Amino acid sequence: MPGYGGDVPRSHGDDAPAAYLAEGTWPDGRLRDDAPVSAVYAQAFTRRLRDAIGEMGLNPFAVERVTGVGRRTVERTLKGLVLPDFGAIARLETGLGADLWPRREHSGKHTGK
């Protein structure tokens, strides 16, 4: 299956979410004004994931055991290299008992591609 086990194709050919940082470090830095909405959502998702993992005292190996989402996916998401697919997002939310996916985080200023 193309893309399985590797990088998941990004929406409209968007770059990795962290590539849109204007300043600072992922996920707390400021995004460029031209960052696509996928990067805005990825940033909010990553912050929530990081916070949930920290509050629970988990590392990526433990997250994998609890959620079934691979440790590499968790690590790459936390670094802003990927945004996980819907299945992984659902497993992370369910396994961690946390609302991770942002609800309308964008302000409309990020136009996307």
Break the chain into its structural domains and give their ranges.
Answer: 47-100
What is the four-CA torsion angle of 66, 56, 24, 70, rounded to 10 degrees?
A: -10
Mind listing the pLDDT tens digit for each residue in 34-61?
999 999 999 999 999 999 999 999 999 9
Mind listing the pLDDT tens digit for each residue in 18-34?
999 999 999 999 999 99
Angstrom distances, CA of residue 85 to CA of 6, 80, 97:
12, 14, 18
CB 39 within 8 A of CB 20: yes
Mean pLDDT of 83-111: 85
Higher-confidence position of 46 and 107: 46
Q: Provide the CATH topology of domain 47-100.
A: 434 Repressor (Amino-terminal Domain) (1.10.260)
Q: What average pLDDT does the chain have?
A: 88
Mean pLDDT of 55-84: 97
CB 23 within 8 A of CB 29: yes
